[in-house]
A and B are shown apart, each in its own frame.
Chain A
Amino acid sequence: MTSPLHRLLQFHDRRFWLSFAVVGAVLLGLVPLLNLLPGENSALHLPNYMIPLLGKYLCYGLLALALDLVWGYAGVLSLGHGAFFALGGYAMGMYLMREIGTRGVYGNPLLPDFMVFLAWKELPWYWMGFDHFAFAALMVVLVPACLALVFGWLAFRSRITGVYLSIITQAMTFALMLAFFRNEMGFGGNNGLTDFKDLLGFDLRDQTTKVALYAASVVALGAALLICRFVVASKLGRVMMAMRDAESRVRFLGYSVTATKLFAFTLSAALAGIAGALYVPQVGIINPSEFSPANSIEIAIWVAVGGRGTLVGAILGALAVNAAKTWLTGALPDAWLFFLGALFIAVTLVLPDGLTGLAGRLHRRRPKAPPAREEKHA
């Protein structure tokens, strides 16, 4: 028996660990240093706005990684990952709201501003405990994971597969969006949660806090990558891939398809929740539009652009598409949807293995993980 760490080390050759360390050092060391050390006018100075922006991209990367685990390896295309992301974000947002305390517009020590505005008298029970960071952090993981567990159990048990699963996960996020738009739900309705002041006592407007949040995103993404790597390289990961390629056969061989899918789905939802929780303090707002079905489908395109079933590819895809989005929505606002739409079509038609697949082909070498293909049933 070898320890998990030992096994993890064995999954990769020295080249992987070297590049992992180099990228990690650049993201964790060089980027914050370039922002904090050189003077404002220095050519080497990284502008302040770049830090939360990069942090946001990394959160998207984590979200894409989570989707790649279920889609690329377990063959389950969830169109509800935006919902898990948003739930994690709301859990963090609730903590940040409670942190505001008496500094809100109405100065109510207990109730967030929007509740005072709606003339609520007391805090709803589900807001209890969110004044403790540890409790909120626990909820960031537990709420999405529990929803995924229950929803997945219902869906996988009755063998809803392929597009049907995609459509009902989409219906789930749609229903949640409608629910969170309601003021009566107690999550700020249309406006969501915003006006955050500080996190664990650190002012969110401080540049050092921003850098720390960014660093936390880097660490979370790196850890999540290693966890996913660990899972897909384990025996369970083999079963997942086998299930993706021939579900009935795996079932006949005696493996529990339901339990395997459920594990992947729940783990993935928890990772998405963490991504959401890191995302909210960096962008400063969470509102119900995060639940919109369009957002969830966009995550799938990040993964597809990067390359399904490659983990690293999904992260790169999220970074590339979102960088393009930031640039295009600034330079040519009308062209962004054309571009995104064309990307959906082009990737599915000519680049089924995404950018990593393309890179592999250019090197005349097959990528390590075989590209994912769905089973041929609708």
Chain B
Amino acid sequence: MTFVKIISVAFFLFLVATAWNNPAGAGDRPDFAGAVAALNSDDFDEKIKAVETLAALGDPRAVPVLQALLDSRLSAAEDGRLLYADGDVYRDAMDGQPVTGVDPADLSDVSANNRVRGAIEGAIGQLSLFDPNPEKRRGAARAVADSKSAEAVDLLQRALAQETDPATGSVMTTALAGLQLRDADRTVRLTAIHTLASSTDPTMLGLLERLQDGERDQAVRRAADQAISGIRQRIALIGIGAHLFEGFSLGSVLLLAAIGLAITFGVMGVVNMAHGEMIMLGAYATYVVQQCFRMWLPASAFDAYLVVAVPVAFLISGAVGIALERGVIRFLYGRPLETLLSTWGISLVLQQLVRTIFGAPNKEVANPAWMTGGIDMSGGFILTWNRLIIIVFCLVVLGALAALLRYSRFGLQMRAVAQNRPMAAAMGIRTGRVDALTFGLGSGIAGIAGVALSQIGNVSPNLGQGYIVDSFMVVVFGGVGSLWGTLLGAVSLGVVNKFLEPYAGAMLGKILVLVFIILFIQKRPRGLFALKGRSIEG
């Protein structure tokens, strides 16, 4: 019978595999094939035993099979072979090879109850220790450290023995030490504490504290004391670092949202309440570019969509900005309160327009691969790529804008019109055109901000509203008309906000910052970096 042949071949393969995996004790371990076959047992207790055996074997081949059983994709053929559906193909549970010519009608489902499912979830967690992906191995090691199962120590030791990636190895060492804190042997406990003393993991801190409660041995207690205070100190330091990073990240977001406003409000004096909607349009432009890439371009090109979205968003928001300036705002120069009201009206119309076209629910904008993940600092603190890239990106935008204002002909004309309009006109500058382009530039930069914001938040018609008060605060705080003031204003507000948050909560922190700004304006009504001049009011 072919079945016997297959089983024996599989068994041979398995022997080779386990021998290679685990040269120490292949012989006395229950076999992989037997355990897989036992998954189809009629008795649920047998099934659970088989699942536990598979977990203890530590063979990564078991993962897809167990996953299939969990998802009810595992079935038994008439000849007793176990097959699992993988998309359109059936694969053999023993070796994962595709099997052809299977008639679904001949298959009977392998069932599982909740107890079996629970066991499978635990087993998959443990098996992930042997997953080819180091990310998954690290995750599994952390998860195992929390579990109370008796085989966990054994499993971790085996995983550690064959681990090649140093970062993953250290995670496993820590997890192992965490488990060994419960060891009956006092020397094992002491070694474990010494290993953990260099950790920055809050779960390990919790484990040490728990150990201290029940510990009788004085030497172990002292060692644990020292380890705990060391870990606490390091966690606090990392916390400060994390707050700084989050603060800079928030600052960069605020800065991106405010740079455009620094142009339209700071340079031109136009109170543009529709500024937030320019950001929102940029975010929706990103969404549209993403959809176009998904529809018409191969998947390999998808990661480039964000690069394309930047100029597209700039042009769309800029064009809308120019249209607004020519159509509405230019009639209202010198009447700031009317400008405020009419631009508010524009923002309502734009929001409703986007809601009508795209619908009210949030749109999903994917991070390209090069923006996902991050640099894993110790202590559960991750410098995520998307936030790092946004920080760099906003500095680049600010630098480019400063250079444009300083060195280009258009920048010169812009400054001339802002300083003395009649004189600029007399020198032959077409002030109306400069006004339109300046407003377009400010709006376009808001659109670019929208591209960045689409990567870290929801894209919805209300996206811009959340930023409008903040961006005005940044511009007023930093000093109207000063790019460097805007930079400093945004970064300091971001950092202060993030440092207040843990003590006061997110909302109260925000309220405190707003109150602070209101009081600050008392002292310096023209912001941190007031432009020096002799302009007279009234």
**Binary interface encoding of chain B residues 472-501 relative to chain A, with 1 for a CB under 8 A from any of its CBs, else 0:** 110010000000000000000000000000
The stretch of A3-11, A242-250, A270-278 that contacts the partner chain = A242-250
Q: Do residues A166 and B340 form an inter-chain contact, with CB atoms below 8 A?
A: yes
From known contacts A170-B469, A301-B341, infer whether A340 and B348 are also in contact, taking CB-CB under 8 Å.
yes
Binding site for B on A (CB under 8 A): 77, 151, 154-155, 157-164, 166-168, 170-172, 174-175, 178-179, 181-182, 246-249, 293-294, 297, 300-301, 304, 334, 337-338, 340-345, 347-349, 352, 373-378
Closest to A162 in B: B336
Q: Do residues B336 and A341 form an inter-chain contact, with CB atoms below 8 A?
A: no
Q: Do residues A345 and B328 form an inter-chain contact, with CB atoms below 8 A?
A: yes
Our pick among A151, A178, A300, A374 for the contact of B335 (Cβ within 8 Å) is A374
Residues of B within 8 A of A345 (CB): 328, 342, 345-346, 349
Residues of A within 8 A of B353 (CB): 338
Q: Tell which of B337, B339, B340, B345 has the most Cβ of chain A within 10 Å.
A: B337
Interface residue SS majority, chain B = helix
Residues of B within 8 A of A376 (CB): 334-335
Our pick among A159, A172, A301 for the contact of B518 (Cβ within 8 Å) is A172
Q: Do residues A341 and B269 form an inter-chain contact, with CB atoms below 8 A?
A: no
- 11 A/B residue pairs, CB under 8 Å, sorted by A: A158-B523, A163-B271, A164-B476, A170-B472, A174-B469, A174-B514, A294-B465, A334-B356, A341-B347, A377-B537, A378-B336
Closest Cβ of chain A to B325, distance in Å, is 13
Interface residue SS majority, chain A = helix
Closest to A350 in B: B331
Residues of B within 8 A of A300 (CB): 341
Binding site for A on B (CB under 8 A): 269, 271, 273, 328, 331-332, 334-342, 344-349, 351-353, 355-356, 465, 469, 472-473, 476, 505, 507-508, 510-511, 514-515, 517-519, 521-523, 525, 537-538
From known contacts A178-B511, A182-B508, A378-B336, infer whether A344 and B342 are also in contact, taking CB-CB under 8 Å.
yes
Residues of B within 8 A of A247 (CB): 537-538
Residues of A within 8 A of B339 (CB): 348
From known contacts A175-B515, A178-B507, A178-B511, infer whether A378 and B346 are also in contact, taking CB-CB under 8 Å.
no
A300 to B473, CA, bound (A): 21
From known contacts A171-B469, A249-B538, infer whether A349 and B331 are also in contact, taking CB-CB under 8 Å.
yes
Closest Cβ of chain A to B444, distance in Å, is 22
Our pick among B340, B344, B508, B518 for the contact of A171 (Cβ within 8 Å) is B518
A111 to B519, CA, bound (A): 36
Residues of A within 8 A of B348 (CB): 337-338, 340-341, 344
Q: Do residues B507 and A181 form an inter-chain contact, with CB atoms below 8 A?
A: yes
Known: A171-B517, A374-B336. 5 other contacts (CB 8 A): A159-B525, A178-B510, A297-B344, A337-B352, A348-B341
Residues of B within 8 A of A352 (CB): 338
Residues of B within 8 A of A163 (CB): 271, 336-337, 340
A301 to B348, CA, bound (A): 13
Closest Cβ of chain A to B313, distance in Å, is 22
A110 to B288, CA, bound (A): 56
Q: Do residues A342 and B337 form an inter-chain contact, with CB atoms below 8 A?
A: no
Q: Do residues A77 and B337 form an inter-chain contact, with CB atoms below 8 A?
A: yes
Q: Do residues A179 and B507 form an inter-chain contact, with CB atoms below 8 A?
A: yes
Q: Do residues B521 and A304 form an inter-chain contact, with CB atoms below 8 A?
A: no
A257 to B21, CA, bound (A): 87
Residues of B within 8 A of A164 (CB): 476, 521, 525
Our pick among B271, B507, B522 for the contact of A158 (Cβ within 8 Å) is B522
A160 to B352, CA, bound (A): 33
